Chains A and B, each alone.
Chain A
Amino acid sequence: MAIWMTGVIICGFLIPIPEIPILKESARNLFLHVPMWFTMAVCFATGLVYSIKYLNNPKLENDRKAETATQIGLLFGICGLITGSIWARFTWGTWWTFAEPRMNLSALGMMIYVSYFVLRTAFDNPEKRAKIAAVFNVFAATTIPFLLYIIPRQLPSLHPGADGNPAFSEITAPELRYIFYPAVVGFIALAVWLNDILNRYKIVKHKIEQQGT
C-alpha cells in the first residue's frame, strides 16, 4: 500500500499532462482532491452499513465500527474541503464563494457529520449513545448523496459537474485517468488501514476498561 501510494504521488507530479488554460499544472490536483471525496463517500457508506447493523443487532461492536468509519470519513472530507478551497483560490479567484452550491453544501454535509460526534458526547450510557448515534447516522448518510451529488448537479455552478453535466466523464483527459484511478484505490486503501488502526485501538481500550472494573 505504501509503495503504491508513493508511486501514485511521484507519477502524479511527473507525468506530462495536457495543457488546460487556467488550470495549468493545478489540474494535477485531480489526483488528490477528488479521491478525498470518493474515500469519504466510501467511509460514510461503511458507517451507514454498521449503523443499520447496530439497529438490527445491538452489539457495541457494530457501533464502534460505525463510529470509526465515520471518523475517518470526516477526516477525508475535511481534507477535501481545504484542498478544494485552495484550488478555488487560484482557479476561480476566491477562497470561498457562496455562488458555488457544491462548496457550501459539502461544508453543510461536514457540519452534519460533526454534529454526529457532538451528539455522541452527550450520552454517558453506551447503549443509549449507540442507539441515538446509529439513528442519526442513517439520517446523516442519507443527506450526503443529495448534498454532494444531486442538488449541485441541478444548479449552475463553478465546479465541474453542474447544470446536469457529469463532473468527470467527458471532460477528463485519458492520461489523467491512468493516475486518477490508482490514486482513488490508494487513498481508499489508506482509509481502510487508518480505520483498522483506530478500531484496534478502541478494542484494546475496551478490554482494559473491562479489566479495570
Chain B
Amino acid sequence: MKFSLIQVQEDTVAAVDTLTKTYSKKWEASAGLEHASPMVKAAASHDLIFIVLGVSLVIWFVLLFFIVRVDKKIGKLEQEIEHPKQN
C-alpha cells in the first residue's frame, strides 16, 4: 500500500537492516503458510496490514470490556443510591 501524498522519506532502509540481519534466519514468517487454513492466509495477505488491524481490535475490545464492566458497577451503585438497602 502506498500513500503518495505523504510519501516523503524513501531512502531509509539502512537504519533497519540490523534487525533483518539478526532475525531473518530465525523467523519462520510465512514459510508454512501454504498449508495454513484459509483464514490465516487471508489475514496474512496485503503485506500483513490486517495483523495491525487485528492487534488494534484486540486492544479496543479489551478496553471496551473494561469500560462495560465499570459501567455495570456504576449502575449498581446508582441503584443503591435510589433504593437503599433496608438493614
Residues of A participating in the B interface, judged by any CB pair closer than 8 Å:
9, 13-16, 18-26, 28-29, 32-33, 36, 75, 78-79, 82-83, 86-87, 89-94, 158, 160, 165, 170-175, 190, 194, 197-198, 201, 204-205, 208, 212-213
Task: Find chain B residues with CB under 8 A from A14 CB.
Answer: 3, 6
Chain B contacts for A36, CB-based, 8 A:
59
B6-22 interface bits toward A, Cβ cutoff 8 Å, 1 = contact, 0 = none: 11110011011011101
> Chain B interface secondary structure, helix, strand, loop or mixed?
helix
Most chain A CB atoms below 10 A, which of B46, B51, B62, B74: B51
* Chain B interface residues (CB < 8 Å from chain A): 1-3, 6-9, 12-13, 15-16, 18-20, 22-24, 26-32, 40, 43-44, 46-49, 51-52, 54-56, 58-59, 62-63, 66, 70, 73-74, 77, 80-81, 84-85, 87
Inter-subunit contact A29/B29 (CB<8 Å):
no
What number of residue pairs across chains A and B have CB atoms under 8 A from each other?
Answer: 136
Asked, given contacts A24-B48, A212-B87, whether A18 binds B15 with beta carbons under 8 Å apart, the answer is: yes
Contact partner of B80 among A18, A78, A173, A208, CB < 8 A? A208
Contacts of B44 in A (CB 8 A): 90
Check B49–A25 contact: CB distance below 8 A: yes
